[in-house]
A and B are shown apart, each in its own frame.
Chain A
Amino acid sequence: MKNTILSVGLLLAVAQALFAQDINWRTEEQHKNVLQAYFGADYSSYYGLAYGRLVQIKGQSLAIGSELTVPFGSDIVDDWRLRTSVQTELLRHNLFALTLKPALIVRRYASPMARIYNLGADITVLYGYQGTRWGLVTLANYDRSISAHLAHRMLKEDYPAIQDGWYNTRSGNFKFGMRAGYSGTSWSGFLVLGKHFGQNFRDNPTLPFFADLSLQKRF
């Protein structure tokens, strides 16, 4: 019930910066740098800042960058997520394109119960229409948590034999959604909406939906 109440409560406010550094490759003027601010909700409410740089390697355009996401809350440094990604168009047909975006993720979680450092990786696939101004693409993402270091606090009071240390987490979440975007001469705005699931489609996140609103400046 608690899960349900939380889910319903968060539903309207709804990806953990999954979509920051989104690139519209069709803008009339291609700048080299991208700065993006975003906020939204997925797992919990959050805000963040991303920086990316467009580079050419062997004729292939790539966007390389990092994003730092912090949940809202009274303690702004206890939980965060740092994601470093590379983005490129794999296929293009007129104004339709298939984009691939692999990333490495480092996360920190802390509460009175425990502190966790986590290493993960994710991959996002986007496909859809992207004009010089407007774009609408579908997306699929798999966020794989690989390993975590657990240090217990209050949980140790309840269970003194609990073992701190590195654990295999070997699990992940899927995300499926849509991204709408509008681009001006040197800026873009993006709205992302979707739904996510645990990889077994049973142990799902409390909040089943996500949303992300971002504003991007290119220079």
Chain B
Amino acid sequence: MKYLIFGIGLLLILFSCGKEMHEPGNLVPETVDEDASLPSARINGTLLHTEATGNPEDPLLVVVHGGPGADYRSMLNAAVFAGHGFYVVFYDQRGSGLSKREPRSQYEGESAVQLFIDDLHALIEYYKVSETQKVFLLGHSWGAMLATAYINQHPDRIAGAVLSEPGGFTWTQTSEYLSRSNKIRFFAEALNNAVFAEQIIAGRTEHEVLDYKASFFANYENAPGNTIGNKGHYPQWRQGAVAFQALIDNAEKYNFDFTSNLSAFTASVLFLYSENNKAYGASWAATVAAPYPNAQLMEVRDCGHEMLYFGWEDFFPKALRYLNEMK
């Protein structure tokens, strides 16, 4: 027995040499505070990865990505709106994508979602060049939820919104949707692909390691046969694992309701759902959109949930027509 223990000890020493997983840049790209060449802005006490394209005096179109904890890379198609008279703003939310990582404690209080609403507010103020400049929001998934949370608090500051498949506007609604969209296939390869690595990379605290590990998990929803109709993997920069997990824990603990004041927003909203997302569909779109007094529902053909990437050909003309009408 003592030889075995000695042998294990020796192997432990021998195999403890190699690169460090948490070294910036090794496994995940550096964030804006680590790489000064990335476009960034100091917003509401943090450093966000953000860029804008178009004429700064045109109506503002702020692109709000999903997740939480994802990034705007798969939404870059929206840059073409700049050629149609919009000043298009992209940003990675706090602690997500290539934005600066923040401690988990920032997302643990009851006001965590409010922090994201305040970030969006500060971002709009950062890019806005005049008080009369119209502001539009283009939100996808969690981003459409966050856009709605913003409209719920600031209905007079937004001229219109394009919302693509927000899970729900209350926690009850969202958890109901997630139970369908992320349905467990217990014996499926996709499950192994998502979680098997947790026995290899475990018990870590560094953002670099957690974000890297989260990339395995994030691919679960894009695996063959996925419920939400995605055709495969779509481009991403970097997961924000802490922001994602903490916000989900926060929602379970405190719940949320982004509909309490939506009746005050009388402008038209374009509400898009995808043809191939089996967990969504027209009826769920109608249910979620109901608190908006004036929502136009439209299906985006030949794609699933990630419609700004896989369904851009049908998404773009619908969104452009709406935005031109509202401009």
Contact = CB atoms under 8 A, between A and B. Distances in A.
Contacts of A78: 189, 192
B182 A6 contact: yes
Contacts of A201: 203
A17 B16 CA distance: 25
B11 A121 contact: yes
Given A145-B199, A159-B29, A168-B21, A113 B193 contact: yes
A147 B19 CA distance: 10
A109 B202 contact: no
A56 to B, nearest CB: 13
Nearest to B200: A118
Interface residues of B, number: 61
Most interface-central of B194, B201, B252 (chain A CB within 10 A): B201
Nearest to A85: B4
Contact of B15 (A81, A146, A207): A146
Interface stretch (B41-49, B58-66, B210-218): B210-218
A79 B196 CA distance: 8
Contacts of A148: 200-201
A111 B203 contact: no
B100 to A, nearest CB: 18
Given A60-B1, A173-B202, A6 B195 contact: yes
Contacts of A170: 16
Contacts of A95: none
A145 B201 contact: yes
B324 interface: no
Interface residues of A, number: 73
A114 B16 CA distance: 21
B236 A158 contact: yes
Contacts of A96: none
Contacts of B186: 9-10, 13, 41, 45, 72
B199 A112 contact: no
A136 B232 CA distance: 47
A154 B222 CA distance: 12
Contact of A2 (B5, B198, B210, B217): B217
Nearest to B236: A158
Given A3-B248, A165-B18, A86 B178 contact: no
Contacts of A73: 187-192
Contacts of B83: none
A199 B204 CA distance: 8
B216 A113 contact: yes
B123 interface: no
A91 interface: no
Given A1-B251, A44-B192, A73-B192, A6 B200 contact: no
B212 to A, nearest CB: 8
Most interface-central of B19, B175, B220 (chain A CB within 10 A): B19
11 contacts: A1-B178, A1-B248, A5-B178, A43-B199, A62-B1, A74-B189, A86-B4, A112-B219, A157-B235, A161-B29, A173-B202
Q: Which 5 A-B pairs have the closest CB atoms?
A: A9-B184, A198-B203, A199-B203, A73-B189, A166-B18
